[in-house]
A and B are shown apart, each in its own frame.
Chain A
Amino acid sequence: MIELDIAGLVVIAGQAGGIGTDAALSQLDIASAEAALAEARLAGREAVSAARSHRRGNGPAGERPDRAAAAAAAAAAAALMRALLRHPPLPGHREQVAAAAGLQFLAINGWQADLDVPKAAALTIKGLASGQLAPADATFWLEVRLSPDPAWPDRQAQALPPESRARRIMHAPMAAVRHRQRSRPGPFVITLGSAHGPAGIRTPATGLMPFTGPALSSVILSGTEARRRGQPRGLEHILFGLTGQDDSVAVKALERIGISRETARQQAENTTSEGPPQPPSGRAPDTPQARRTWRAVLDEAVAHGDNYISTEHFLLALYCHSDAAVVQALAGLGADESQVRAAVTAQRAESGPERPA
């Protein structure tokens, strides 16, 4: 794996901090930078080794080599970010430099990170900075978002003889697409439980993240409500489902801000509309926003260091759609994202996690 050196770090810090390379060099804390890079090298090698041995011993059967490589790259990037957060090379830009360096490390090793929910990514960096999130958790979070850089095969083509190079250039776009499709992190499966296992969200990187009891009830209720109204499941149905129980962390967090369960439910009602009734069986399809929310739910769980999916993860995930009517309605009642996050933190500290399903 190609490692970052101190010169690369200066260039990254200058750009990420918005101060330019010269200023970054003059402000560089050389001892911290050297300490961070040395620690990252050591921790990265250990993490990569651990990720590989874990995959050999417990990885999914038939797992593709590119996913094992993604796990190793994610482990090394997480170790680098953690080291730079512990030994900031540039005063005042600690988290930005760590994030940018981690992303650049992945890029020079041929990986792209698809961080489509920036808020969750920021929480992950902050969790790493505060020590609330272990590098192994950040590795899991990052791994599923990695895909090979489509430009990588182009670079390899440079070394081919002219005839082969021409063929590669002609076929490069499709090859890149196929390469990307092959290397997607695999199915993102939502299961509502069966004789074969509990309900939850499963990805190759995280394994099964089981729903808590209230979260499972919310998911079922949101689907039932969407079907009853003859609509695909959207954000308003998810909020409707969340307000179905009065003992969930999500409802209690809203109550802390002064929003009762009934008021939140009314907001969900107000932002939805009726469609033709649908049969009460079968699964309601999700709107594109809802599909993205499922990813955000997983992001929130991992960013909080949880190995389960709870109602507060759903509530916070709604805020990745800040323009959505239901989110605007909650914000209008005083529940903007920062207040909800603070209320969730306080509620979790007071009541602890929800009971398992």
Chain B
Amino acid sequence: MAEAAETGSGRTKNMVLRLDPALAERLAAVAEVEGRTVSDVAREAIAALVEARRKDKRFLRQLEDNLARHQRLLDLLREDQP
């Protein structure tokens, strides 16, 4: 595992990502070349994965079924939220 750290100020925040060393290197290289932060690049990569997952019909159907079947539980947890 490697750590890619960045320090921010103002509206950004400090964060530490625990990444596979090869992935961390690739992310850092992309960030360097494109002049962006590592977290921006990471978020974009996750967005691409999320987009693919949103097309996974089986996953979505299972999720919808689950949320519908356990709506009362989720409502209870929402109500008790501070």
- On A, residues with C-beta under 8 Å from B are 5-8, 10-12, 15-16, 21, 25, 28-31, 34-35, 38, 92-93, 95-96, 99-100, 103-104, 107-108, 113, 115, 118-119, 121-122, 125-126
Residues on A with beta carbons closer than 8 Å to the beta carbon of B77: 95-96, 99, 122, 125-126
Residues on B with beta carbons closer than 8 Å to the beta carbon of A122: 73, 76-77, 80
Residues on B with beta carbons closer than 8 Å to the beta carbon of A12: 63
Interface check B17, CB cutoff 8 A: yes
B28 CB → nearest A CB, Å? 15
Q: Chain B interface mostly helix, strand, loop or mixed?
A: helix
A42 CB → nearest B CB, Å? 12
Assuming A30-B42, A122-B76, is B15 touching A21 (CB within 8 A)? Answer: no
Checking B42, B49, B70 against A99 with a beta-carbon cut-off of 8 angstroms, the contacting residue is B70
In the complex, given contacts A15-B63, A16-B74, A99-B70, what are 8 additional A-B residue pairs having Cβ atoms less than 8 angstroms apart?
A11-B50, A12-B63, A16-B67, A31-B15, A95-B80, A104-B66, A119-B76, A125-B73
B49 to A107, Cβ gap below 8 A?
no
Residues on A with beta carbons closer than 8 Å to the beta carbon of B15: 29-31
A21 CB → nearest B CB, Å? 6
B24 CB → nearest A CB, Å? 12
Measured between alpha carbons, how far is A107 from B19 in the docked complex, in Å?
27
A108 to B59, Cβ gap below 8 A?
yes
Give the 4 A-B CB pairs with smallest separation, nearest first: A7-B49, A118-B72, A122-B76, A107-B62
Measured between alpha carbons, how far is A322 from B48 in the docked complex, in Å?
46
B27-61 near A? 1/0 per residue, CB < 8 Å: 00000000000010011001101101110000110
Residues on B with beta carbons closer than 8 Å to the beta carbon of A11: 50, 53-54, 59-60, 63
Residues on B with beta carbons closer than 8 Å to the beta carbon of A121: 70, 73
Count of chain B residues with a beta carbon within 8 Å of a chain A beta carbon: 32
A5 to B49, Cβ gap below 8 A?
yes
Interface check B65, CB cutoff 8 A: yes
B43 to A30, Cβ gap below 8 A?
yes
Interface check B81, CB cutoff 8 A: yes
B76 CB → nearest A CB, Å? 4
A107 to B53, Cβ gap below 8 A?
no
**Interchain residue pairs with CB less than 8 A apart (7):** A8-B59, A11-B54, A12-B63, A28-B43, A30-B43, A95-B81, A100-B74
Checking B18, B53, B60 against A38 with a beta-carbon cut-off of 8 angstroms, the contacting residue is B18
- On B, residues with C-beta under 8 Å from A are 15-19, 39, 42-43, 46-47, 49-50, 52-54, 59-60, 62-67, 70, 72-74, 76-78, 80-81
B25 CB → nearest A CB, Å? 17
Residues on B with beta carbons closer than 8 Å to the beta carbon of A126: 77, 80
Measured between alpha carbons, how far is A113 from B70 in the docked complex, in Å?
9
A103 CB → nearest B CB, Å? 5
Assuming A15-B67, A34-B17, is B76 touching A21 (CB within 8 A)? Answer: no
A115 to B59, Cβ gap below 8 A?
no
Measured between alpha carbons, how far is A122 from B71 in the docked complex, in Å?
11
A7 to B73, Cβ gap below 8 A?
no
Residues on A with beta carbons closer than 8 Å to the beta carbon of B52: 7
A115 to B67, Cβ gap below 8 A?
no
A115 to B80, Cβ gap below 8 A?
no
B14 CB → nearest A CB, Å? 9
Residues on A with beta carbons closer than 8 Å to the beta carbon of B39: 30
Residues on B with beta carbons closer than 8 Å to the beta carbon of A113: 70
Residues on B with beta carbons closer than 8 Å to the beta carbon of A108: 59, 62
Residues on B with beta carbons closer than 8 Å to the beta carbon of A38: 18
Residues on B with beta carbons closer than 8 Å to the beta carbon of A5: 49, 53
A7 to B46, Cβ gap below 8 A?
yes
Residues on B with beta carbons closer than 8 Å to the beta carbon of A8: 53, 59
Residues on B with beta carbons closer than 8 Å to the beta carbon of A119: 76
B53 to A7, Cβ gap below 8 A?
yes
Checking B17, B62, B63 against A30 with a beta-carbon cut-off of 8 angstroms, the contacting residue is B17
B18 to A34, Cβ gap below 8 A?
yes
B30 CB → nearest A CB, Å? 16
Residues on B with beta carbons closer than 8 Å to the beta carbon of A10: 46, 50, 53
Measured between alpha carbons, how far is A103 from B49 in the docked complex, in Å?
21
